Amino acid sequence: MDDVCALACTLPRSSEAIVRGRVKFRIGRIVYLSFSRDGAVMGFAFPKEWRAALVDSEPEKFGLPSASDMRYHWVHVRLAAIDEPEMRELVEDAWAFVVPKQVAEAYAATKT
């Protein structure tokens, strides 16, 4: 969880918030990352239309959100099941999903 937070804090327009005792990262009012209270599971922004395929492809890593959160673009990952490069990809993709397109493009251009 510490590695995720360190990365998320560096992303443009990203801000950390504590909501009902849970760490969340957002762009404005839109949450793109959230952690379980114990920090073992991370929820992240993800296209609804690809959610089932992701969970089905690696059910030991990924899980569906609660029934009440199925209306959102959201999926869960067990942090112990992923390595640093995969964590980075998930966090950056979730961030890019909610930030304005030109901000994501400018960030991507700095990485090449």
What's the whole-model pTM score?
A: 0.92
Cα–Cα nearest to 43, from 15, 16, 77, 82: 77
Using alpha carbons only, give the angle 7, 89, 62 rounded to the nearest 5 degrees. 110
DSSP-assigned states of every residue in 41-104? EEEEE--HHHHHHHHHH-TTTEE---GGGTTSSEEEEEGGGS-HHHHHHHHHHHHHHHS-HHHH
Is a pLDDT exceeding 90 seen at residue 84?
A: yes
pLDDT tens for each residue of 11-54: 999 999 999 889 999 999 999 999 999 999 999 999 999 999 99
pLDDT at 112: 67
Q: Sorting pLDDT into bands at 50, 70 and 90, what band is 9?
A: very high
